[in-house]
Amino acid sequence: MASNQCESTASKVHPSFNSKVANVVLRSSEGTLYRIPSFVLRNTTSYFRSVLPIPPAFGQQTSSQEQLTDSIVVDEKDVILERILRLISGLETPTWGTFEEVEEVMSLAEKWNAPGPISVMRSAVTAPKFLAEPLRLYGIAARFGWEEETKLASTHTLKLSIYDEEHADLLQRLPTKALLDLLAFHRRRRDLFKTFLDSEDIFTAGNDLEPYCSGCGEKVDNHSWRELKARMFFEMDQRPLGDTLMGLDMEEWRESIACWSARCRRQECGRLTYNKVATLRDIQICLDKLPSTI
């Protein structure tokens, strides 16, 4: 920020910030002037508390023309500067537009050390429109140490394949610990799910070391179950939420069709090797047991 000679006649003054009792003028990067009382800036931000003089006592005020000698240049666009000034002034604020806008206002609030706007934005960032961008929300929450919001955002990242190149930029911007926690969380869900799938106690028919047909005692080959497990592991790696495992798409997998149609090879028997309904139920139970947040 820098101070320049205030020329109100050469620049437009924002109509919501044109107070007659203002003794400070902020100028955006677009040239708009914001006249605002210094006590508002001093009471709501540590930055201005340190750089602005204490206002004169009541009865010692000078005229507004004498007070407005310099403008303070704020290197932010109008949409950002107006938003944060509305927050610290207690004025009505419009609906948030984009996550970029939220991040820029948060950065300015952090620069000014303005806890009020930060607390207001904390309650706003969990709106559905921002949960739709969980990696960005996770980054902001981790940056400010918001535990509840960080956990909520981590849950919503489960629908993402975070190793895809499209997410690389956001992942690189995460604090190191937050990044490692998120990667470990996704990996933990995937690996624990594999442990469940390989359990002989849960999926006896498929994981028995010496499987036999429950109808005639003929030895059976569990290769179709092994292939289905490999496909489910891949799907969990790509989308750890696991919702693709129980949807209609799974019905069309080559591995699913082969597994659910596998039968005893003894012609006189022909019994289905796996109980589809029971197996799908057990898969869902396993998914429900997985950790849901970092």
More confident residue, 271 or 148: 148
SS (HEC) of 211-252: CECCCCCCECCCHHHHHHHHHHHHHHHHCCCCHHHCCHHHHC
Separation CA 53–CA 132 (nearest Å): 44
pLDDT at site 6 = 46
Query: Residue 33's pLDDT band (boundaries 50, 70, 90)?
Result: very high
If you compute the radius of gyration of the chain from its CA atoms, what whole number of angstroms results? 30
What residue has token string 């750089």? 51
% of the chain at pLDDT higher than 70: 91
- Per-residue pLDDT for 247 more than 90? no
State the DSSP string of the chain.
Answer: -EEEE--TTTS-EEEEEE-TT--EEEE-TT--EEEE-HHHHHHH-HHHHHHSPPPPPTT-PPPHHHH--EEEE--S-HHHHHHHHHHHHT---PPP--HHHHHHHHHHHHHHT-HHHHHHHHHHTTSHHHHTSHHHHHHHHHHHT-HHHHHHHHHHGGGS-TTSGGGHHHHHTS-HHHHHHHHHHHHHHHHHHHHHHT-TTTSHHHH-SS-B-TTT--B---HHHHHHHHHHHHHHHH-TT-GGGSSHHHHT-HHHHHHHT-B-S-TTT--BSS-HHHHHHHHHHHHHTS----
pLDDT tens digits, residue range 113-170?
999 999 999 988 999 989 999 999 999 999 999 999 999 999 999 999 999 999 999 9
Query: Residue 67's pLDDT band (boundaries 50, 70, 90)?
Result: low
pLDDT at site 1 = 58
More confident residue, 14 or 247: 14
Average pLDDT, the chain: 88
Q: Is the dihedral of CA 83, 118, 38, 40 positive or negative?
A: positive
Terminal Cα-to-Cα distance of the chain (whole angstroms) = 39
